[in-house]
Amino acid sequence: MFNRVQQKCNSTANGIITTYATRVATVSLGNIELHNIRASINPYAPDDDVLLGMSFLKELEMVQRGDVLILRQ
């Protein structure tokens, strides 16, 4: 089903699930583009939404002003 991935167990609010660790060649968000980002595939996700994790966010500068979050590379 998945190529070059490692099966893992992760704890969620709904219990323990099996996920698959892999790397994403490129992740883009607006004009921000990062390469070779660690990722987890959750086959139980209800739709095509993707969560950005710390493997992506730790590479950015984050500034919160009121209800606005500004991300800079």
How does residue 60 score in pLDDT terms, banded at 50, 70 and 90? very high
d(CA 73, CA 70): 10
Q: Where are the domains of the chain?
A: 6-72
Give the three-state DSSP class for 60.
Answer: coil
Looking at residue 51, what DSSP letter applies? -
Q: What is the pTM of this model?
A: 0.74
d(CA 16, CA 1): 20
d(CA 43, CA 57): 22
Express each pLDDT in 2-59 by its tens digit.
Answer: 456 889 999 988 899 999 999 999 999 999 999 999 999 888 888 887 888 999 999 9
